[in-house]
Amino acid sequence: MPNNILKQKKAQTRMLETIAVILIFFMLVAFGFVFYANMQKSNTETKYMEEKNAKAIKIAKSALNLPELQCNGKTYCFDESKITAFSSGSVPKNQYFEVFRYSEITLEKIYPSKGKVQVYSRKNPATTSKQSIWVPVALNDPLTGTSFAILTVDAYE
Amino acid sequence: MSRAQTEMIGLAIIVLIMIIGMVFAMKFLIKEPKILSDAGDKQVATAFLNTLLSDKLEVNECKVGVELKELIQDCSTPPELPNRCADNTITYCQKAETVIKGILEGSLKPRKKEYEFYLCSKDLKNCAPGKAVIEDVSNQRMCRQDKTQVIYPLPTEYGTVFTVLNICTKS
């Protein structure tokens, strides 16, 4: 084989080698980018969920500490007579929009009797997306005693 | 520099890049604990026991005016001195078990929280499967992952009664 053809073949092989190395390098870089983007996406989603959760927790805490609803000086306790007055509409709900925003607050009695009371409801007309949290609470009635209940807060975006 | 040396350096660079990539990946793969979720479980467990042991949570079907807290405290009473419900069929402690299981099934179970509830007397070491006076576990496989634990001790005449609620953390 002539010498110049041999040299050409060798150069082609080296070119191929360089191209392969560059290809592998860029594949690694692309893999890294995809991995990083996925991680960032899941981190953003987690932060978004945490923020939504925090909003619902804030509303639940506001409800638990609202003097218009809570028992005297007790945590995780509502006064049933106050709840009845609040949910019956005798208290203008618009005043509480600053506190409860777009949310639904319900109390579900578990023991000794079962039942459900809607304390506050204002749905967001713009969205149906909501975050729910719940917490066990005592529902105290000075006449009939205490009930075990669950406070559920559905916070709309 | 000979060709072999250059190729060795190339290989070393690739290995270095891969190591840096692995370190980077590990940083993201080892997730930090979800503080918010843990705080949520802790709050639920605390609120649950707080409510369970609250004043005036009466179990009138056992005896008019008797509180669930009193029924629970009776679980440390020696067997020769049992307090019985008005119909004289079951003891306070047995009634407490029925009521607590009913409340757990009506509150935590529908909300898909896996839990372990133990009520034990005298020593916290007794708050374990097979040793507790009252035991309710939502899933027989128990908490396989981490759990959030809340303990409420109740002093009684015959020693302390411990109520323990473990909420299983979802993986």
Question: What is the predicted pLDDT for the residue at A102?
Answer: 92
Alpha helices (runs of H) in chain A, residue ranges in sequence order: 3-64, 80-87, 97-100
- The answer to whether residues B24 and B78 belong to one domain is no
Question: What does the block give as tokens for B152?
Answer: 């409420």
Closest in B34, B43, B103 to A135, CB measured: B43
With CA atoms as reference, the chain B residue closest to A39 would be B28
A115 touching chain B per CB within 8 A = no
Burial level of B21, CB count in 10 A (0-12/13-18/19+)? middle
Distance CA A146, CA B54 (A): 8
Q: Is B147 helix (H, G, I), strand (E, B) or coil?
A: strand
pLDDT tens sequence across A100-109: 999 999 999 9
Q: How many domains does chain B have?
A: 2
Mean pLDDT in residue range B39-51? 88
Chain B contacts of A110, Cβ < 8 Å?
Answer: 103, 106-107
- The answer to whether residues B77 and B142 belong to one domain is yes
Q: Could you give the ipTM of this predicted complex?
A: 0.75
pLDDT tens sequence across A80-100: 999 998 988 777 778 899 999
pTM, to two decimals: 0.76
A148 touching chain B per CB within 8 A = yes
With CA atoms as reference, the chain A residue closest to B17 would be A28
- The answer to whether residues B26 and B87 belong to one domain is no
Question: What is the predicted pLDDT for the residue at A31?
Answer: 87
With CA atoms as reference, the chain A residue closest to B41 would be A135
Domain that holds residue B50: 36-168
Mean pLDDT in residue range A26-43? 87
CB B98: neighbour CB atoms within 10 A? 15
- The answer to whether residues B54 and B13 belong to one domain is no
Sheet-wide strand order for B115-121: B134-137, B115-121, B159-168, B147-156
Torsion of CA A124, A130, A134, A138, to 10 degrees: 10
Which contacts qualify for A65-74: CB closer than 8 Å, 24 or more apart?
A66/A99, A69/A119, A71/A138, A71/A140, A74/A138, A74/A140, A74/B54
- The answer to whether residues B49 and B100 belong to one domain is yes
